[in-house]
Structures are given as C-alpha cells and as structure tokens.
Structure 1
Amino acid sequence: MPEVKLRKRVESVEEIFHEGGPEAEKPYVRAWSLAVIENPFAGRYEPDIQPFIDDLRPLGLRMAERLIDLLGGKENVEGYGKGAIIGEAGEIEHGALWHAPGGYAMRQLLGAEASKAIVPSTKKVGGVGARLDVPVTHVMASYVRSHFDSVEVGCNDAPRAGEMALALVMTNGPRVHSRSGGLEAWEIKGEDGLR
C-alpha cells in the first residue's frame, strides 16, 4: 500500500454574527481542514486502488480531531461534510477513496449516538487553485433544513497535477437567521439518520 505523503495542511474558522438581520445569540461557526497529499495513482490507470482507503484513515482522524478542537469540543458539532479535489493527472474515482476515511473519522470521534446521518460529500478534478463547495448537513438527521449549507474550501497552490486536496468541514449549528421551515433540530427522532 502507498504511504500517505502530506505536503501541506490548510485550516480556516469562520464566525458569522448576522446576515443583515439581528445579531445571533451565538455566532455560527464553520471550520474546515484541507490536507494536500501526493496522489499515488496520478498519471496512470490503477485497477486496485481500494487499499489506499486504509492508508487514509489516520489522516481522516487527525483532521477530524483538529476540527473538533477548533469548534471547542464534540458537544458543539452539529453539522458536517467532506470533499476532495483531485489534481489533473488523477481521476474522479481517486476522490471516492476519501468517502470512508473522512466520513467515518468524523462519525467515530463524535460517537454513534451523536452522528447518525450520512456525511454529505462532493468531489471533482481541478487544477491548481481550484475551489470546492463542500455540502453540510446536520449530524443526526439529513433532513434538518436549517443546517443545509456549503463551505468553500481550497488553496492557492493546490492541488498540483499529481496531488489530492482532501477536505473535512464541521459547523456548530444552524445557519444564522434560518427560517425556511422543514424539520427542526429539536424535532429529530434520531432513528435512521434522516429525520
């Protein structure tokens, strides 16, 4: 199995106090982490890429731990998402390798009783400086409309052609001024990750 070769990590924390209306009781915080790594499959077709999933698991855990710290503890995490930008010498399927290491890392650290919803994701092939909108949903129920969001991630010098930029996102609550209706967080039953 290839070794994960990390070139750089980029993190960001955004605090939103209002969106033109009254100031929120607590700011809406969105934090993301991006790991830029070498793509061991760049420039060629490799039929068996699945073993790299296991190699990525420790990276996923480190990134998720850092995001939990940035939000002040797992009790503050209400939303999450993941994504990957694959450099131009790779293929979109290489981004799919991040689904399990990224998603399961967040769910493992948050705990089974605090993260029943599937972790939404997105991926694309892009050039240096490409940006990615990572979808976010509530950690317990995907249908909680107040927590639907996306967080733009990226880095000015990544991914290079032979790299992957792997992202995790966590948030601390609903969008500021959420008022679009639908299932509310206090109505979650927590049975199936949907409602």
Structure 2
Amino acid sequence: MSDFAIRKIVTQVEEILHEGGPLADPPPVKGAIYAICANPFAGRHEVDLQPSMEALKPLALMLTDRLVAALGGRAGIDAYGKGAIVGENGEHEHGAIWHVSGGYGMRDRLGECRAIVPSAMKVGGMGTTLDIPLGHLNAAYVRSRFDVITVACEDGPRANEVLFALAMARGGRVHSRMGGLEISQVKGEDGLR
C-alpha cells in the first residue's frame, strides 16, 4: 500500500430520525469512510493497473473495520456501496481499481453478501462531491435500501491523489413506502431476491 500513501481518513455517520413523518424507531443509520491517498499513476499512462487491486486490499479491510465500528458493530448492517474520486492528474481507471479491493474488502468483513456492491467513480478536483449508491447486501431488488450517501473533502483529492470510499447502512430510507421486495421476503440465493 506504500504506493498509495494515506494523507488522511475521514468517517461520517448519519442517523435519520424523520423526513416530516413520524419519528423512526429505530432510526436508520448510514455511514461512509474515505481515505485520501497518493495516486502513483498520476500524470502518466500505466498499461497494467490490475496489480494495484491487490495492493489496495489492506486499505479496504482497514476502512471496513473502522466503518463497522463507527456504525456500532456488524449487527444490522444490511446495505453497502463504494466509490472513488480521482484527482485531476489521474484518469477514471485509477478509481476503477477500487472495484475489486473495496468490494471484496467489505464482503470479507461483513460475511455472506451475494448482491453486487453498487459503485460510483469519477475524476474531479478538491471539494468534488460523490454520491455513493447503496444497495442491500444480499438482494438487489430490496427497494427500501436504494439510497445514497454523499462524501466530499474540502482539501482533496489534490491533483496527484485519489479518494477511496466505502459506505454502509443499517436500515433503509426513513419512511420507505415504494413497494418492491421486503426484507422479510429476502432469500439471499442469487444476489437479486
């Protein structure tokens, strides 16, 4: 991970009590964590980026552990997502290296997770926002878990950096009432239902 030297780590947690309706009991909680890292590929084209996916696995495991702790432990976490913002001297693919390491890092720590980990990647400058999509861990059709959490760093990513982020939630959107597959109907067999 030395090629991706960490400058800073930021954790955020949101507890949503209501959105104009009755108080949620218990309130849904969602959180995100990101690391601002050096981008060893900034300013040049590297043909083979795949070895970097392996190099980033320790970062993914560390960020997962910290986010699970910030959310009060593993129990009840039922949605996840990931994302990256690449600084201006990098390219979109420098964020895409987070697909495997970020996703499998969370799966390693969260246990059985059959659904794809939703993700968003982009290139942007300091203060760029990223809406990280969330989806249910085992059943992509659980509409109540379709959500986002927004991350932004006022001093990053700098031109030669990349922001690698993970997100998780306990519970769905507050006052969710759009139908679809309910939690009680999840079979968790194919990642869809």
TM-score (norm 2): 0.97
Q: Structure 2 stretches of 5 or more lacking a match?
A: none
Which residue of the other structure, out of 181, 186, 189, is the alignment partner of 1:188? Answer: 186
Aligned residue for 1:173? Answer: 171
1:86 touches 1:163 (CA, 8 Å); kept in 2?
A: yes
1:86 touches 1:125 (CA, 8 Å); kept in 2?
A: yes
Aligned residue for 1:75? Answer: 75
User: How far apart, in 2, do the equivalents of 1:4 and 1:95 lie?
Assistant: 12
User: How far apart, in 2, do the equivalents of 1:138 and 1:120 lie?
Assistant: 9
2:3 touches 2:39 (CA, 8 Å); kept in 1?
A: no
**Matched residue SS, 2:108:** helix
1:84 aligns with 2:119: no
2:144 touches 2:177 (CA, 8 Å); kept in 1?
A: yes
Q: Structure 1 stretches of 5 or more lacking a match?
A: none
Cα deviation for residue 3 of structure 1 reads: 2.5
- Higher mean alpha-carbon deviation, 29-38 vs 1-10, is at 1-10
**Cα deviations by residue, 1:33-78 (Å, 9 ceiling, x for unpaired):** 0100000000011101111111100000000011111122212211
1:59 aligns with 2:59: yes
What amino acid is aligned across from residue 136 of structure 1 in structure 2? L
**Matched residue SS, 1:18:** coil
**Matched residue SS, 2:4:** coil
**Matched residue SS, 2:102:** helix
**Matched residue SS, 1:100:** helix
Aligned residue for 2:14? Answer: 14
Q: Which runs of structure 2 are paired with 1:81-120 in the superposition (5 Å)?
A: 81-112=81-112, 115-120=113-118
What is the aligned-residue RMSD (CA, Å)? Answer: 1.0
Cα deviation for residue 2 of structure 1 reads: 5.9
2:125 touches 2:156 (CA, 8 Å); kept in 1?
A: yes
User: How far apart, in 1, do the equivalents of 2:76 and 2:102 lie?
Assistant: 19
User: How far apart, in 2, do the equivalents of 1:149 and 1:136 lie?
Assistant: 5
Percent of pairs with identical residues: 55
Cα deviation for residue 4 of structure 1 reads: 2.3
Aligned residue for 1:157? Answer: 155
Which residue of the other structure, out of 135, 138, 142, is the alignment partner of 2:136? Answer: 138
User: How far apart, in 2, do the equivalents of 1:68 and 1:107 lie?
Assistant: 12
What amino acid is aligned across from residue 76 of structure 1 in structure 2? G
1:13 touches 1:70 (CA, 8 Å); kept in 2?
A: yes
